[in-house]
């Protein structure tokens, strides 16, 4: 297969970069705690621009992981740099003890994206998705006066101690952290129920089921399981809330059966609990069809949690909720919440998404990318088990056997990642077994980029079979 070539640096640059890479790699190992370094030969980044990353040897890579689903509008976007510099020349930080136009202007602009539910009208700013979910947990318990919460198997809601109980992936569980009530994961590919008619996606799983295009029976069964959890495991069926990622991110880009989120969250709300929509990865147009992932489910959240692409990688996060829920927490303060530089950058992000029509590009190019990956799934008999997602939130699950769905070995996954990196493509991986390629590029990529990525990925997979 002929692959598009990338710039090849000189041998002198490679030798110098190799020495520097070795020394910085040793420093990371000895003095920093970074257990997720991606490659066997560590990638030492020099700079980045738009959808590309450049290493210290001058080689260019197409970035299809986007800082773990964070760089939404592209690396080093000039409008974001201009906004940050303009604010830095005024003041860097004051805290929200003082009135600031930057904070007010951004909150106003953000709330424009909640016009379909005017009750969602109060913003609370923090620094990360984990911290936003921690605050959402605080709000839900204070407002409902209940303690127990529900999350799904395979969910990821952060790894600060309070949210570890909401996160249900083996590698993050800790014996000393009390967990939430865990509902069955409504996964049309690996779950008990589900198949080819269940997803709101251009691509369906090849698994057969009894559902029809008009009615998803799998959704019925999973909602029944949630109701059983409320009936048997929760006192008087009362919980503080239920956390749901609109599409599960770290867990392997799992999509739920059509109708599940709406019906499940209404069931919880009918019993006094809140629906917390975790939009950390699916928000800001990344799914293409909607600005927020929950909108595709027709669900009505009580709290919306957002981070990552909110400021394109600048440490910033937010919660949007109803006034009465926000007031329930009483006294709350966050030193860096509403940082003026973060607000300025986040405001510029919203402008760029609109002006450059990035949500529309995400839908169009993402659909093209999904269809090409689905063809690859069908062409490789025992390797690609499932392709799923929407827009630029895509998962490709690797298996040893399509009938048993035995997960692909981690060492083979790593070898494919290394081959892709060698040929100029950066990907992520996730899922409970580490067997899902996470394909989440910046929203500015082109169809040519998508085709290149699929060609490189196919070449790498075939060489490992």
pLDDT at 413 > cutoff 50: yes
Query: What tens digit of pLDDT does each residue of 396-409 get?
Result: 999 999 999 999 99
Q: Check whether residue 201 and residue 345 sit in a common domain.
A: yes
Burial (CB count within 10 angstroms: exposed 0-12, middle 13-18, buried 19+), residue 142: middle
| pLDDT at residue 190 in the model | 95
| pLDDT at residue 175 in the model | 83
| pLDDT at residue 40 in the model | 81
Q: Check whether residue 147 and residue 268 sit in a common domain.
A: yes
Query: What tens digit of pLDDT does each residue of 197-230 get?
Result: 999 999 999 998 888 888 999 999 999 999 999 9
Query: What tens digit of pLDDT does each residue of 297-323 get?
Result: 999 999 999 999 999 999 999 999 999
Q: Check whether residue 171 and residue 287 sit in a common domain.
A: yes
Q: Check whether residue 325 and residue 276 sit in a common domain.
A: yes
Residue 2 lies in a domain: no
23-32, 85-94, 429-438: which has the minimum mean pLDDT?
23-32
Residue 74 lies in a domain: no
Q: Check whether residue 115 and residue 161 sit in a common domain.
A: yes
Q: What is the largest CA-CA distance in the chain?
A: 71
Q: Check whether residue 310 and residue 368 sit in a common domain.
A: no
Q: Check whether residue 245 and residue 110 sit in a common domain.
A: yes
- As a whole number, mean pLDDT of residues 72-101 equals 95
Q: Check whether residue 191 and residue 335 sit in a common domain.
A: yes
pLDDT at 65 > cutoff 80: yes
Measured distance CA(130)–CA(193) in Å, rounded: 31
40-44, 138-142, 176-180: which has the minimum mean pLDDT?
176-180
Q: Check whether residue 92 and residue 241 sit in a common domain.
A: yes
Listed residue (415, 418, 382) closest to 397, CA to CA: 382
Among residues 332, 355, 378, which one ends one of the domains?
Answer: 355
| pLDDT at residue 36 in the model | 67
Residue 385 lies in a domain: yes
Query: What tens digit of pLDDT does each residue of 99-158 get?
Result: 999 999 999 999 999 999 999 999 999 999 999 999 999 999 999 999 999 999 999 999
In which domain, by residue range, is 433 found?
11-69+358-464
Among residues 330, 355, 380, which one ends one of the domains?
Answer: 355
Listed residue (463, 368, 384) closest to 418, CA to CA: 463
Q: Give the CA distances from residue 168 to residues 177, 183, 205, in Å, rounded to whole numbers and listed in that order.
A: 12, 10, 23
Residue 75 lies in a domain: no
| pLDDT at residue 179 in the model | 79
Residue 195 lies in a domain: yes
Q: Check whether residue 288 and residue 209 sit in a common domain.
A: yes
Of all residues in the chain, the percent with pLDDT exceeding 70 is: 93
Residue 187 lies in a domain: yes
pLDDT at 9 > cutoff 60: no
- As a whole number, mean pLDDT of residues 436-457 equals 98
> Which domain CATH number covers 328?
3.40.640.10
Q: Pick the more confident residue, 96 or 375.
A: 375
Provide the sign of the torsion angle of the four alpha carbons 421, 424, 430, 434, taken in this order. Answer: negative
Give Cβ neighbours of residue 89 (< 8 Å, ≥ 6 apart).
Answer: none
Query: What tens digit of pLDDT does each residue of 248-299 get?
Result: 999 999 999 999 999 999 999 999 999 999 999 999 999 999 999 999 999 9
The CA-to-CA distance between both ends of the chain, in Å, stands at: 15
Among residues 321, 355, 389, which one ends one of the domains?
Answer: 355
> Which domain CATH number covers 45?
3.90.1150.10
Q: How many domains does the chain have?
A: 2
| pLDDT at residue 1 in the model | 46
Q: Check whether residue 168 and residue 271 sit in a common domain.
A: yes
- As a whole number, mean pLDDT of residues 64-73 equals 97
| Mean pLDDT for the chain overall | 92
Cα 25 off chain centre by: 27
| pLDDT at residue 366 in the model | 98
Residue 76 lies in a domain: no
Q: Check whether residue 320 and residue 408 sit in a common domain.
A: no
| pLDDT at residue 178 in the model | 81
| pLDDT at residue 33 in the model | 61
Q: Kind and range of the H or E element at 219?
A: helix 217-233
| pLDDT at residue 20 in the model | 65
Residue 423 lies in a domain: yes
């Amino acid at each position: 297969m002929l692959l598009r070539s990338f710039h090849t640096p000189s041998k002198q640059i490679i030798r110098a970069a190799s020495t520097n890479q070795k020394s910085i790699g040793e420093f990371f190992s000895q003095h920093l705690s970074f257990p997720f370094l991606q490659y066997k030969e560590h990638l030492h980044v020099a700079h980045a621009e738009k959808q590309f990353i450049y290493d210290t040897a001058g080689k260019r890579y197409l970035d299809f992981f986007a800082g773990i689903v964070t760089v939404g509008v592209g690396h080093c976007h000039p409008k974001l740099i201009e906004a940050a510099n303009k604010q830095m020349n005024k003041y860097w930080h004051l805290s929200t003890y003082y009135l600031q136009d930057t904070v007010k202007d951004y909150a106003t602009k953000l709330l424009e994206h909640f016009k379909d539910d005017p009750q969602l009208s109060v913003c609370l700013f923090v620094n990360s998705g984990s911290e936003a979910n921690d605050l959402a947990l605080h709000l839900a318990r204070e407002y409902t006066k209940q303690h127990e919460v529900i999350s799904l198997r395979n969910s990821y809601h952060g790894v600060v101690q309070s949210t570890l109980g909401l996160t249900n992936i083996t590698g993050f569980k800790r014996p000393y952290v009390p967990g939430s009530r865990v509902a069955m994961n409504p996964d049309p590919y690996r779950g008990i129920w589900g198949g080819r008619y269940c997803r709101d996606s251009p691509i369906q799983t090849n698994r057969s089921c009894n559902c029809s295009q008009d009615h998803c029976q799998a959704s019925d069964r999973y909602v029944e399981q949630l109701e059983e959890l409320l009936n048997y495991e929760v006192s008087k069926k009362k919980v503080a809330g239920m956390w749901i990622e609109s599409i599960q991110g770290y867990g392997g880009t799992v999509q739920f059966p059509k109708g599940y989120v709406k019906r499940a969250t209404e069931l919880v709300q009918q019993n006094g609990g809140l629906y917390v929509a975790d939009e950390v990865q699916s928000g800001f147009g990344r799914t293409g069809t909607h600005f927020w992932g929950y909108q595709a489910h027709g669900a009505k959240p009580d709290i919306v949690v957002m981070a990552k692409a909110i400021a394109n990688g600048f440490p910033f996060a937010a919660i949007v909720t109803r006034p009465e829920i926000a007031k329930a927490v009483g006294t709350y303060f966050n030193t860096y919440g509403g940082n003026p530089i973060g607000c300025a950058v986040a405001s510029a992000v919203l402008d760029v998404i609109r002006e450059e029509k990035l949500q529309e590009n995400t839908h169009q190019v993402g659909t093209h990318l999904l269809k090409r990956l689905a063809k690859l799934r069908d062409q490789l008999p025992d390797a690609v088990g499932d392709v799923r997602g929407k827009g630029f939130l895509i998962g490709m699950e690797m298996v040893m056997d399509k009938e048993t769905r035995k997960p692909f070995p981690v060492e083979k996954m790593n070898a494919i990642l290394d081959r892709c990196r060698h040929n100029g493509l950066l990907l992520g991986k996730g899922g409970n077994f580490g067997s899902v390629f996470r394909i989440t590029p910046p929203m500015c990529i082109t169809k040519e980029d998508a085709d290149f990525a699929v060609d490189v990925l196919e070449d790498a997979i075939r060489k490992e079979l």
